[in-house]
Amino acid sequence: MPTRHPTTRRFSREATRSAGDIVEHLDVMWEHARESAALAPVSASQLRLMYLVDRSEGIRMRTVCTRLSTAAPSVTRMCDRLQATGFLERLPCPGNGREVTLRLTPEGRTHLQSIRDQREDALHHAIDALPQPERRALAKGLAGLHAQLTAAAGAGAEAEEESRPGFVPAA
């Protein structure tokens, strides 16, 4: 691994601290959007589960437990609540009747979109107030950060898939 210059490490630490501060601020904004959604409010944990299901339609409950680092009984209770509000449905897993897959209902997607719209509006106003060169730099930096986070998450998901019983690697 190449040795990084001390100045580069310092800038990296400063960027990390700044990103952490932004995440904390966004967390407060997100909580407000989650609580003020037009439909029934959901907990932060339930919302994370909904995001995960939205990104991976038909995801298995076992995979949800792994990705959320949450025990199966807790995920089952969250699914029970989301199903009772009409936001989630559980379906038998194709090819394995003992497993359950999850899918958002149209109402669940609408609720999630409402929260996303509120969050996007708040971010848009803040970003729109930045001078254009800063907006460009932000867009470029966020795209790079997203690529790194996605690659790290992809490596974790790949390792998870390979550890699944009966996994057969692609030829």
Per-residue model confidence as pLDDT tens digits over 134-166: 999 999 998 998 899 888 877 665 555 555 544
Q: Is the pTM of this model over 0.85?
A: no
What sign does the CA torsion over 156, 30, 86, 45 have?
Answer: positive
> At residue 168, does pLDDT exceed 50?
no
pLDDT of residue 3: 62
For 67, what's the count of Cα atoms within 13 Å in the CB-facing half-sphere? 22
Confidence at 114, pLDDT banded by 50, 70, 90: confident
**What percent of the chain is predicted at pLDDT more than 70?**
83
Radius of gyration of the chain (CA): 19
Lowest-confidence region among 35-49, 69-83, 85-99, 100-114: 35-49
Rounded Cα–Cα distance for residues 63 and 67 (Å): 6
Angle (CA) 73-78-83 rounded to 5° is 120
Mean pLDDT, rounded, for 65-75: 94
Burial class (CB in 10 A: 0-12, 13-18, 19+), 42: buried
**Does residue 65 surpass a pLDDT of 80?**
yes
Task: Give yes or no for a contact between 108 and 50, defined as CB atoms under 8 angstroms apart.
Answer: yes
Q: What confidence score (pLDDT) does residue 157 get?
A: 58
pLDDT of residue 28: 81
Residue 152 phi, psi (nearest 5)? -65, -40
Say what the pLDDT of residue 171 is: 38
Averaged over 103-111, what is the pLDDT? Answer: 95
**Coil, strand or helix at 131:** coil
Report the C-alpha gap between 9 and 14 in whole angstroms.
Answer: 9
Torsion (CA) 16, 155, 117, 49 in degrees, nearest 10: -110
**What is the model's pLDDT at position 165?**
47
